[in-house]
Amino acid sequence: MLEHQNIRPEPIIESDIEWFQTLFKSCFCRDNPWMQHLGKTKYEAFHLNKQAFIFTYTVEDYTDLLTIGVHPHQRRRGVGEFFLKWIITKAPKAQKFFLEVECENNAAISLYKKIGFDLISIRKGYYPQSSGPALDAYVMTYQK
């Protein structure tokens, strides 16, 4: 497991934009909407060996997990689970977490449930598509 490999997440900074955009597209087949927020208060972004990333937005006692991605060739190796557990332990105590996940993304939903996230609602038409109707998203939450 990754915890034993001494891997540490590193901040994503503005000079990372080029490689990060490529990684984001390989994960989601679209441009990243969060890069414009790098360096702004309350936003944080981290990567693991340029193979996985997470963007968060924190206000008071809650954190929105804006996006988490793992390069397709690195999936099913525990990277996403490691990253989620890391961000949860990094946050202050009594922290609440929220995220949206596309309703058909069974792998991500299973991971979030495994970590302890609960489904609280559905957002209809949350994820726009280049063609066809926007996709629905589950809203999930986790509290320490």
Return the SS3 of 91. coil
Q: What is the DSSP string of 15-78?
A: GGHHHHHHHHHHHHSS--SSGGGTTSTTEEEEEETTTEEEEEEEETTEEEEEEEEE-GGGTTSS
List, in order of start, the domains of the chain with CATH numbers: 2-143 (3.40.630.30)
- Is 137's pLDDT higher than 90? yes
Catalytic site residue from 112, 126, 138, 142: 112
Q: How many residues does the chain have?
A: 144
* pLDDT single digits (tens) 37-65: 767 778 888 998 888 889 999 888 889 99
* Start-to-end CA span in the chain (Å): 23
Q: What is the pTM of this model?
A: 0.83
Catalytic site residue from 18, 57, 100, 127: 100
